[in-house]
Structures are given as C-alpha cells and as structure tokens.
Amino acid sequence: MSGGAAKLRDVRKLADSRAVFELDFPLLQLQGLPGEFTSGGGSVRARLSFGREQGFAMTQVELTAQLAVTCQRCLSPLQLQVQTSSPVLIVESERQAEEAPAGWETFLAPEGRVDFAALVAEELLLALPIVPLHEPASQCAPRAAGAAAEAVAIAEAPAPAGEPAMTRPFADLRALLEGDAVKRSKSSGTRK
C-alpha cells in the first residue's frame, strides 16, 4: 500500500473534485478480513471514483482480487477470483447514515475524513462468499469422492497384526434402527 493511501482524506474535497484513485492493497494489511482469506498473501486492486449523489459524497468502489483459500466442499486449494463494483455513500455520522436514501450502502467517515484501506477492506469483506466453494461443484466432486473412498477404505481396513482392532461404536446402529422400524410397523398394523 502506498504511503498516500494510508492517510485520511477529506471526503468533501474528493467528491467536489470528482477524484479518481487506482490503488493496490496487500491483503495482509487490510483490517477486518478473516485469516483464511488473507493467509495466501496477494493483493486487491481498487479503483475509487468520487462524486456526489443526492447531496451526499459518494464513491464507486471497483475491486479485483485473487485469493488463495480452501474449498469447503472438497478441502482442496481454491483460487477465488473476486470482482465487484459498488456505489457507496460516504457519511460523516450515524444520523447522516439514517438520512441516506433507501437502498444505498453507506460508509462512515468520521469528521469527513475517509480511510481508503478501511473502505476497500469493508467492500472486499462484503464481496467475499460466506463459504468458499469450487464453482461449478463438478470441479471438486472427483477429489471429494476420492477422499471419501479413501476414508472408507481406511476405516474398513483390518487392524495390523499385533495392534488392537478399531472400535466402531455405531457399526450396529443401522441394524438397530431397522429393527426398531420393523417393530413400529408391526405394532401400528395390529391396532384397530
């Protein structure tokens, strides 16, 4: 992150001059992002275009980032591409945020001073998926199926000679449940 991006900027001046900034932020330096999204390093490219909308200072925030994360379906690495563009009203107080037109996202800039890194971090956080997954799912299905088959093979393998056998406390659960279902169906058929 360049030194100029780290300082607070006057929102009114930015909006009135219709300022445009193109910046790169290392993911590790953006506050508030979950660790699983920043652990792979990388950066986010941001374009901030300031102006005015309905009397409010606003900015069009355009972000592009590629994050190294783990797919939560198959638990294998995933290169997550994030691209977003959002119009954001920059407000100076909670009261001003309440007065903002309905449907607009707001960003709080106390005393009319905006922190570009905080704005970019918030917008990136809003663009991140709740659960990162390969899309389409078929990209990870073979890996997930292979891992599941491997887990079953390990679980069903006999214990090596000289080692105690693995205890499987739920091995007979299906038989118990099926037996209970048969008993219930017989008892419900005899009542009249």
- Say if residue 19's pLDDT is above 70: yes
The answer to whether residue 166 is domain-embedded is no
pLDDT at 140: 76
Q: How far is CA 184 from CA 68, 109, 170, 192, in A?
A: 52, 65, 21, 14
The answer to whether residue 174 is domain-embedded is no
The answer to whether residue 115 is domain-embedded is yes
The answer to whether residue 187 is domain-embedded is no
CA 157 to chain centre: 38
The answer to whether residue 151 is domain-embedded is no
What is the tally of structural domains in the chain? 1
Please report, in angstroms and rounded to a whole number, the separation of the first and last CA atoms in the chain.
78
| Whole-number Å distance between alpha carbons of 126 and 84 | 9
Amino acid at 22: E
The answer to whether residue 184 is domain-embedded is no
**What sign does the dihedral 16-115-105-108 (CA atoms) show?**
negative
Amino acid at 11: V
The answer to whether residue 168 is domain-embedded is no
Answer whether the bond into residue 136 is a cis peptide, omega within 30°.
yes
Domain of 72 in residue numbering reads as 3-139
With bands split at pLDDT 50, 70 and 90, how would you rate the model's confidence at 35? confident
- Say if residue 80's pLDDT is above 60: yes
Query: Taking the model in full, what pTM does it have?
Result: 0.68
Q: What is the DSSP string of 144-179?
A: HHHHHHHHHHHHHSPPPTTSPPPP-TTTTHHHHHHH
The answer to whether residue 47 is domain-embedded is yes
Which one is predicted more confidently, 161 or 121?
121
Contact predicate 1/117, CB 8 Å:
yes
